[in-house]
Structure 1
């Protein structure tokens, strides 16, 4: 069996997600729209923003409208990662007014959430501007939406961490508790894991550092270290391993961690706590078209 190309696989994923989301909202049984509108009333809709945003999820919103009615004409006015000023248009839709209205809330929910992540990610990037540190999005995403949420973070400038458990070795506190020590866990990983996978280990105190480096860790995650502790570890390590700060880092403390010289900072807030941005849709009637 030939593998499905990545672009085709993503398209299938979006279409399937759009269908499930519309079924959840029972978009085919919009009793208000059916009671109020003439079924053949055509319309033209614009989705705009009331605040400056970084766009993400436009393709998802387009799939929602097309899943509601394949005859709708949808036009993206902003690409992935594009800055959109307040009042500007992100997406336009033309066709059946009833179909547009039945998909409106679902499309806006996706767009507001994903643009919110991209916008917050861009703000985080601006907070560390001038620093070579790499910002990483984590697996702290909603089940089923990781693909979209991680892509939104990347639209804002973040780099990906592990997309799934299969993408890398990350030895965490519970692994360490079961293995006896962080160094023992690293040693076991080096003997058992595929050689192409980098081995990252989480430590909770500076005195664990030398043991995990000696055991062969290639990336050390400094969990809930203060900026001062991170700076001390950076000095002590002398670039022998990649260092990653994580745990309890906020938008306010992000510049402090970036200033330590740490290589990477991973944060969950950009995906699990991003506020929805303020988007709205205006729908105007157009000429009612009848078949000739």
Structure 2
């Protein structure tokens, strides 16, 4: 018998032996997968955004099927429709999911926001922020390098020519991925139907904030004093709006007329922060409409 034939026989024998071993192990240690997991995963949007708190849609499907403590409404992008579908499949009760959308808390475009230096490094907000906190004088402002847009699973963010993110309300699912990747925490989630928002993220005191950006909130509290519903508070030199109080109780947002820098604006979707139209102002503040001059 030649050496080549002997080698072939040995290799064939080894292949058969290992094949039988693997087949036995596969049968012996096989883990049965609950078919319900696949059914639940099929109704999820497959964004793999992690908004549910699990590592992707499959991980959430496994958790919601196998663990009684995991509710069926954790898929933020899927909203109420997916929550109901998961609830029906798992026999759980789905509580109402409040729709939300991303909000950009900065209107500091070129010409309004000052710069400390010209940045020519890697076009990424995280990388730029590692160099002395970024090139903007305001260390809380949007750096405009599009890290949020690059990481948006649903392609809901585009960058304006002036370098600010624009949220597409038809595509944004409120998953919060952009919120987690922004090194400046400029992007946050707000409920749909919010009437006003603060287009600023600065925690600096008034004079410092105004020097760094002409449209910064200076923490003057005029808006808070004007709001009769207590929806606006000043925290860390920055105005914050309780969107639920504002949405449910306010019919005339007079705070818009009091802000000296126009940092508080109508919560208009799909536009660059700071570019809200006069019509949008009048929609939430009827008293902002100036009556026509009456000839005497």
Q: Same fold (TM over 0.5)?
A: no
The TM-score bracket by the shorter chain reads under 0.3
Q: Which has the higher contact order (CA 8 A, sep 6+)?
A: 1
Which is strand-richer, 1 or 2?
1
Q: What TM-score comes out, normalization by structure 2 length? A: 0.27
